[in-house]
Structure 1
Amino acid sequence: MNNKWIIAAGTALALGLAGCNSGSSNRSNPEEPPAPAPELTPESISLSFLGRYSSGIFGQSAAEIPAFDPINRQIFVVNAQNGAIDVLDASDLSNPSLIQTLTMETIAPGAVVNSVAYRDGLLAVAVEAANKTDNGYAVLVDTNDLSILDHTQVGAQPDMLTFTPDGRYLLVANEGEPSDDYSVDPEGSVSVIELDGQQIVSVRTAGFQAFNDQKQALIDQGVRIFGPNASVAQDLEPEYIAVSADSLTAWVALQENNALAKLDIASATITDVLPLGYKDHGLDGNGIDASDTDGVIDIRTWPGVVGMYHPDSIAAYSVDGATYIVTANEGDARAWGETNQAYWDGDASQGFVEEIRLKHLVHRSGFARRVGDDMPPHLHALAAGALLNPEVFGYCGASAGEPGDCREDDLLGRLTVSWVDGYRKDASGNPVMFDSNGNPDPAGDRIMYDQIYAFGARSFSIWDENANLIWDSADQFEQFLASDECRTGALRDTPCRDYFNSNHSAGDSFDNRSDNKGPEPEGVAIGKLGEKTYAFIGLERMGGVIVYDISSPQAPHFVDYLNTREDWVSDPQTNLANVGDLGAEGLVFVAANDSPNGEPLLIIGNEVSGTTAIYQIDQLFAD
């Protein structure tokens, strides 16, 4: 069926078309929700805007990760601006309101909240220590009276947590990021917390120390392990967790490492580290817009350029007994010490930054010209300059010793890339050196890039249990945002292409993010409606939520897109009350049986606008 049946947001679909659901007529009385509709399978779905709560705080992550309590009709939202949880009354979905703010100061002075998860009257809270490299905490809160029931120490920087489907375990991803100067680098880990009702029974740590002696093998397989003086356990940084339906296995996103870890839950053991590989932007259908200054939409293929999937949020679902992993391929660079001028002046002990514009990486004059500006001292210590392989990049003008037009702003020059990967190495992993004219020379001072690594894949992907790629959305996100079909705003009245790849923190910023990670897919939630499974992917920069039917993992298809940013021109910081929603971060799906109005919902935390938005998932049923 044609999906152009979408109607203006704020108007409920007449679901009675199928004679099955009359729930939308009861929205005006949230105290008496309609009886749950039968579990029917929709022909299609669309999103419509219901309401939002605004913290009134711009650009300080005042709304990040949401969780929903169907019993008390509460939304819990991580407010990173004050390191706490905003508790919202969601009885009136059109006007959610703040009940109170819940802090974790009684757990540890200066502690801040990173994430939340809900199950059966329990709110699990990930709490980071005041010094982020110290061990953090997992806390259980009674959602009826918001009292703390129990807590335990976990690893450094607990960043995300989730209950297993059977409710027996709480799993915590301890990211273990380094200090800003990289002088302290905690080990990443996953805490496996066994629960008995509302109490913690035991805590075990699934770490990566067993992989320390496999460092080179992991690197050879494609796992990015590159922190200065870091062991494998220190370098791997768990970001997000997805769990199989049988509660036996979990997959952990290792974002900066471009890999997934596989966790046996019962034994609290990491059984494997699975590289995700790289997306070839030289292949038809995998194009990107690589320039933010050319003033046009220019999605094209770039041979020699690959994208690092670098998933942020991940989720799992089952089809015919097999588990599949859905990833939002955001991309994320290691950039520590970037605000410390001593680092840029050449003191490598003050941090580690892996990102650089291609035009500054491959310049005939070498690296010295950028010292004190944006030249990472670790790169400068590696060589005096860098070249492009003319056999790969000849199509944009590279020749022996010369980058040619490849570094021009309207080609690849503006693209933000990683200098860590792609240069030629010998069998021992050492750089192969060249002279400034591109001739191999052991006494030379240049390195040569055979491949360029960009951050993120500007897509979402589906993987099997062993991280084999089943399907990727290729360049569909950017192509859709550039199309005449795409409209933004709650009323879908603004052409997306007019603000293609805009930044979430600025007005009138057409094409601003093309040189970086494009629309930057970050959050993902999965919802099942009848026999169909849908993926809801939040786009951090362009904003909004894009929906795919993923019922067939091998053949997902686009369903809808809703972006409730309303003002694309004025400065959002000075027009916050009217700008709408900026910077989709975390998403949670609410089933119809749990919803205050009897309709399935999607709740989105928008970190830049500091707003928590509520979308209704409108279902269209066949006659």
Structure 2
Amino acid sequence: MKKWMMATSTVALIAALAGCNSGSNDDDDDGVAVPPPVTDPVTTPESIALSFQGRYSSNEFGVSAAEIPVYDPENQQIFVVNALNGSVDVLDARDLANPARTGSLTVEDIAAGAVVNSIAYHNGFLAIAIEAASKTDPGFAAIYDATTLQLIDSTQVGALPDMLTFTPGGEYLLVANEGEPSDDYSVDPEGSVSIIALDGGTMGDVRTADFTAYNTQADALRDAGVRIYGPGASVAQDMEPEYITVATDSSTAWVALQENNALAKINIADAQVTDILPLGFKDYGVAGNGIDASDEDSVLNISTWPGVVGIYHPDAIASYNLDGSTYIVTANEGDARAWGEDNDLYWAGDASQGFVEEFRVKHLVHANGFDRRAGDDLPPQLRELGAGALLNPDVFGYCGASAGEPGDCREDDALGRLNITWVDGYRKNSDGSPVMFDTTGTENPTGDRLMYDKLYSYGARSFAIWDENGALVWDSGDQFEQYLASADCFAGSNRDIPCVDYFNTGHDEGDAFDSRSDAKGPEPEGIALGQLGDKTFAFIGLERMGGIMVYDITDPQAPAFEDYFSTREDFELDPETNLAAVGDLGPEGLYFVPAADSPSGEALLVVGNEVSGTTVIYQIDQL
């Protein structure tokens, strides 16, 4: 380990988390949770914890056989997206310990080759987002009777409908049309949000909130921090709506534009995008925002890294109302554009065959330049900018960078392994072209080196709370990684597996300590909010490490850690060959069930795990 490494102290944070956790986990000395008593569901709990109730397994590994769940209280059944089959599995949830599959809902009657991407439930109706056989073609939204599973109505929407939701009052169905490009970027549909008027389960007018009005504002949006960078894309083409949350009065929607690192604000009645709100970047040089940046140093090293920032890139978002104000809660997953990455022609230098923005720091700033990676992982668009890149020694001098040399910054136990985007961070002229330097680090118009003043990594390894205009209210900082690295964290349904032994392990592999530290760490992806009495709680799924983080967010400026619960039961086994024994891997979608709707009378959390293909029911124990 280099003597200049600035390891962030974990003592104060872990003590604080342990203090929070001591009230939410009545564990015995062996770390085994003591079952709590049944509580009045309308009572405001002092704290909460999760306990395992039951599991349905598709017995399919790594093929997204369980993604997005919703719960139907009228029939006490769970609907879950099975992307493997392009359909919806129907589970009987009356016996929480033994949810059983009773059928499947397919969408072949909508369009040939169409598949299910997402689902939503409201008052006896199930809405389904349906991707066309070619993802760049317009997709569909459909509504089914949740009891009979009969199709009621359907309509065409934009390309790649990725998520949909009812407004709280059921007046509208909103569909996020992501509009991803084809792998070679030859076709790039516009992103949009379809707003469908409803009369019960019947669809009325379909209007589109699009981004075409912003096509003339590309430079201003980029200057504000909105990431618009797809090759040849207009603003409308570059926007990729991922997830929607709606105000309690059904007047306003906020849409996660994940790849663009922004939120869109929509007036629902007018079907207009009224604002694009850049989320900014998370400074990993600030105490409390540290990350473990390497997967090959074989140690825990949650450190601060000046000059390195995280792109929030939220996936799932949710919202809640407090004293008349809406707060948006985001799971800051991170997401790189990687199109054509399986095309040999692209890596051979044909930029028309794709676009990959991800690159390791050690390959970006090697003194010998980019061509050493040609034919391997060198994006041709990066090579068109220059023959190599340098680190600004005024920023990165702390890890040894000097004029023309990266020093120890590119070593594996420093920043070398970290995946970053080459698109952002290099010094630019006023027209957007790169400022060129020579190999000595001297600015020189005839030089062939880029100069990186910042390094932009994917995601923020956190969840965050924003106000309705996109201003950051609170971020969990490095609490996720610090807790997973602490002696207080235990995984497994019996809470007996030390998390620290499997820190930042991947969800699709056996024992792989630290394997995700170079990427997005524990990778928070899914989120659900739940109201218990007078308190609001956030449940955040960690896609890679697995498990659910629980926070009391009643005060949006001072959320409190409540619990971490993982039902990954064995980290040593290869999950592909030991699926039944390893437990639950890759939480994707989370759904809160209020106590009043639950078969047991206790509030529940339903989680779809895409890697293990399992749908899990947790009880929310009020302590």
Q: TM-score, normalised by structure 1?
A: 0.95
Is 1:3 aligned to residue 23 of structure 2? yes
Q: What's the secondary structure of 1:261's corresponding residue?
A: strand
| Match in the other structure for 1:321 | 324
How is 1:352-431 mapped onto 2 (pairs within 5 angstroms)? Answer: 352-431=355-434
Find the aligned partners of 2:490 and 2:242 in 1 and give their Cα distance.
32
Q: What's the secondary structure of 1:381's corresponding residue?
A: helix
Could you list the per-position Cα deviations for residues 34-85 of structure 1 after superposition, in whole angstroms to 9, with x for gaps in the alignment? Answer: xxx4x21111110000011000000000100001101111111101111111
TM-superposed CA distance for 1:102, in Å, is 1.1
Q: What's the secondary structure of 2:342's corresponding residue?
A: coil
Find the aligned partners of 1:237 and 1:429 in 2 and give their Cα distance.
23
Q: What's the secondary structure of 1:75's corresponding residue?
A: strand
| Match in the other structure for 2:302 | 299
| Match in the other structure for 2:312 | 309
Q: What's the secondary structure of 1:378's corresponding residue?
A: helix
* Structure 2 unmatched ranges of 5 or more: 1-19
Give the total of aligned pairs: 600
* Structure 1 unmatched ranges of 5 or more: 22-36
| Match in the other structure for 1:30 | none
| Match in the other structure for 1:596 | 599
Could you list the per-position Cα deviations for residues 382-433 of structure 1 after superposition, in whole angstroms to 9, with x for gaps in the alignment? Answer: 1010000010001101111111110000100000000000000012211100
| Match in the other structure for 1:277 | 280
| Match in the other structure for 1:24 | none
| Match in the other structure for 1:455 | 458
Q: What's the secondary structure of 2:302's corresponding residue?
A: coil
How is 1:551-562 mapped onto 2 (pairs within 5 angstroms)? Answer: 551-562=554-565
Note if contact 1:11-1:48 (Cα within 8 Å) is conserved in structure 2.
no
Find the aligned partners of 1:544 and 1:105 in 2 and give their Cα distance.
34
TM-superposed CA distance for 1:12, in Å, is 3.9
Note if contact 1:43-1:619 (Cα within 8 Å) is conserved in structure 2.
yes
| Match in the other structure for 1:246 | 249
TM-superposed CA distance for 1:4, in Å, is 5.1
| Match in the other structure for 2:235 | 232
**Letter in structure 1 aligned against 2:119:** V
TM-superposed CA distance for 1:482, in Å, is 0.3
Q: What's the secondary structure of 1:234's corresponding residue?
A: helix
Note if contact 2:24-2:47 (Cα within 8 Å) is conserved in structure 1.
no
Note if contact 2:158-2:191 (Cα within 8 Å) is conserved in structure 1.
yes
Find the aligned partners of 1:481 and 1:569 in 2 and give their Cα distance.
17
Q: What's the secondary structure of 1:410's corresponding residue?
A: coil
Is 1:13 aligned to residue 16 of structure 2? no
Could you list the per-position Cα deviations for residues 525-570 of structure 1 after superposition, in whole angstroms to 9, with x for gaps in the alignment? Answer: 0000000000000000000100000000000010001000001001
Note if contact 1:434-1:444 (Cα within 8 Å) is conserved in structure 2.
yes
Find the aligned partners of 2:185 and 2:204 in 1 and give their Cα distance.
35
Note if contact 1:9-1:49 (Cα within 8 Å) is conserved in structure 2.
no
Find the aligned partners of 1:445 and 1:241 in 2 and give their Cα distance.
43
**Letter in structure 1 aligned against 2:36:** L
| Match in the other structure for 2:4 | none
Q: What's the secondary structure of 1:219's corresponding residue?
A: helix
CA, structure 1 residues 309+579, in 2 after alignment: closer, same or farther (shift >3 Å)? same
Could you list the per-position Cα deviations for residues 94-150 of structure 1 after superposition, in whole angstroms to 9, with x for gaps in the alignment? Answer: 111111111101100000000000010000000000000000000001011100000
How is 1:72-471 mapped onto 2 (pairs within 5 angstroms)? Answer: 72-471=75-474
| Match in the other structure for 1:525 | 528
Find the aligned partners of 1:446 and 1:222 in 2 and give their Cα distance.
24
Find the aligned partners of 1:617 and 1:317 in 2 and give their Cα distance.
19
| Match in the other structure for 1:28 | none
Is 1:579 aligned to residue 602 of structure 2? no
Find the aligned partners of 2:23 and 2:564 in 1 and give their Cα distance.
11
Find the aligned partners of 1:444 and 1:295 in 2 and give their Cα distance.
38
Is 1:569 aligned to residue 572 of structure 2? yes
TM-superposed CA distance for 1:179, in Å, is 0.4
Q: Percent identical across equivalent pairs? A: 68
TM-superposed CA distance for 1:9, in Å, is 7.4
Q: What's the secondary structure of 2:314's corresponding residue?
A: coil
Note if contact 1:6-1:46 (Cα within 8 Å) is conserved in structure 2.
no
**Letter in structure 1 aligned against 2:547:** G
Q: What's the secondary structure of 2:394's corresponding residue?
A: helix
Note if contact 2:24-2:49 (Cα within 8 Å) is conserved in structure 1.
no
Q: TM-score, normalised by structure 2?
A: 0.95
Is 1:611 aligned to residue 619 of structure 2? no
